[in-house]
Amino acid sequence: MLKILNIVGARPNFMKIAPIVREMKRRSDEFLPLIVHTGQHYDAAMSDSFFEDLGIPKPDYHLEIGSASHAVQTAKIMMAFELVILQEKPDWVLVVGDVNSTIACALVCSKLGVKVAHVEAGLRSGDMTMPEEVNRLLTDRISDLLLTPSTDGDENLLKEGITPGKIKFVGNVMIDSLFYSLKLAENSNVREDLSLIGKDYAVLTLHRPSNVDEKETFAELLDALVEVSEKLPVIFPAHPRTKSNIEKFGFAEILQTSNIKLIEPLGYLDFLRLYSGAKLVLTDSGGLQEETTALGIPCLTLRENTERPITIEMGTNILVGTNRAKITQAAFDVLSRKQTQDTKIPPLWDGKTAERICDALL
Ligand code: UD1
């Protein structure tokens, strides 16, 4: 029986851990899964609602770290998590993604000689100014088992000199949650509540510091998005960081007078129901590039690079950066397409990745 500590901290972790814990519980003769929530995200809309929507059991440990500078947040998680490790003495710690909780917990394990498995290993944007890129690189370097979502991940790891025996291509576990939840999401009334029935609309998410922390960049993005919204309404569930910067930079009025509808962050099922009916998604999120690929929805990524190149190869995702003309041109091109584009789903994005992760751990 393997005792596994499964780490979650921030919003994009929850949909990755849910299918893994479900599978471990199903195989209870082989696995004893415990959940540790670092508390990096703590708002009901950023955390609790995901536990409910995804059926994740209550965490066994809640470290309640909350928001702080990167150094303070990472250090506090390390200090609190070390005590959990010493108490539980797990066989493996499983970390997902690329947030500060991921590197913090992996680093504690490597110092204590506890084995770490990294789910979503090998993704690289090549942009070291991105906090997540540093988290990914370092987590992969110190992990014992590197579980990749696509084969570009394997190639990146091999190029970096990682021992081939540590790498296992298992597919994309976010897609397990997506396929599991599609039917459940049909019960959501979000489209009715936003008066979108029978209408074309776009969905927008923005939260990267490089897009929303500098007034000029954010202003140029908003100009482009207002122009897109003249063609079809844009629904914008905003991350807390983004919302507070909209206030700080005085952008609230631009939004109020536009066809962009700013709303609170949505839970997993409501958000799935919303974007799965969209004509177009505009985002700087990592996960949403993948979810739109799996569902064949056109996505414009408002960044200069992506650690998920397979979403571009498969035909749904276009990197448009932050230049106004480039964004509006790409959006209008997508909206003028007569037929939906032929898209492909990447290998092993099949809803069975959690099973392969469990097999690899055994
Ligand atoms: C984190 C991840 C990012 C991920 C994002 C998804 C890192 C380095 N970044 O960024 O990769 O894409 O989560 O959302 O780990 N806040 C709240 N309530 C919350 C959480 C945050 O109000 O529940 C606000 C706080 O003002 C906080 C700010 O958001 O200071 C940033 O939160 P933080 O966890 O530091 O990073 P994110 O930008 O959310």
Among 40, 65, 95, the mutation site with the greatest number of ligand 1 atoms within 8 A of its Cβ is: 40
Q: What is the pLDDT of residues 275-299, one digit of tens each?
A: 999 999 999 999 999 999 999 999 9
Pairing between β-strand 234-237 and β-strand 145-148 as defined by DSSP bridges: unpaired
The residue contributing the CA closest to ligand 1 atom 16 is: 240
Dihedral pair phi/psi, residue 238, rounded to 5° = -100, 135
Among 43, 78, 96, 99, the mutation site with the greatest number of ligand 1 atoms within 8 A of its Cβ is: 99
Nearest-atom index, ligand 1, CA of 10: 13
pLDDT at residue 195 greater than cutoff 80 = yes
Please confirm, yes or no, whether 207 is among the known catalytic residues.
yes
pLDDT at residue 221 greater than cutoff 80 = yes
**Which two tokens mark 120?**
């979503």
Nearest-atom index, ligand 1, CA of 102: 15
238 C-alpha vs ligand 1 centroid, how far in Å? 12
Q: What is the pLDDT of residues 105-120, one digit of tens each?
A: 999 999 999 999 999 9
Average pLDDT, the chain: 97
What pLDDT, on a 0 to 100 scale, did the predictor assign at position 338?
77
Cβ atoms of 159 and 128 closer than 8 Å: no
Other beta carbons within 10 Å of 331: 26
What pLDDT, on a 0 to 100 scale, did the predictor assign at position 126?
97
13 C-alpha vs ligand 1 centroid, how far in Å? 12
Q: What is the pLDDT of residues 48-77, one digit of tens each?
A: 999 999 999 999 999 999 999 999 999 999
> For a pLDDT cut of 90, what percent of the chain falls above it?
97
199 C-alpha vs ligand 1 centroid, how far in Å? 32
Q: What is the pLDDT of residues 1-26, one digit of tens each?
A: 999 999 999 999 999 999 999 999 99
What pLDDT, on a 0 to 100 scale, did the predictor assign at position 339?
73
**Which two tokens mark 36?**
């540790």
What pLDDT, on a 0 to 100 scale, did the predictor assign at position 71?
98
161 C-alpha vs ligand 1 centroid, how far in Å? 31
Catalytic residue, from 37, 41, 118, 207: name it.
Answer: 207
The residue contributing the CA closest to ligand 1 atom 19 is: 41
Cα–Cα distance measured from residue 355 to residue 68, given in angstroms and rounded to the nearest whole number: 35
For the chain, list the strands marked E by DSSP.
Answer: 2-8, 31-37, 61-62, 92-96, 115-119, 145-148, 167-169, 202-205, 234-237, 260-263, 280-283, 299-301, 317-319
User: Model confidence at 315, in pLDDT bands (50, 70, 90)?
Assistant: confident
The residue contributing the CA closest to ligand 1 atom 29 is: 241
121 C-alpha vs ligand 1 centroid, how far in Å? 21
Q: What is the pLDDT of residues 235-265, one digit of tens each?
A: 999 999 999 999 999 999 999 999 999 999 9
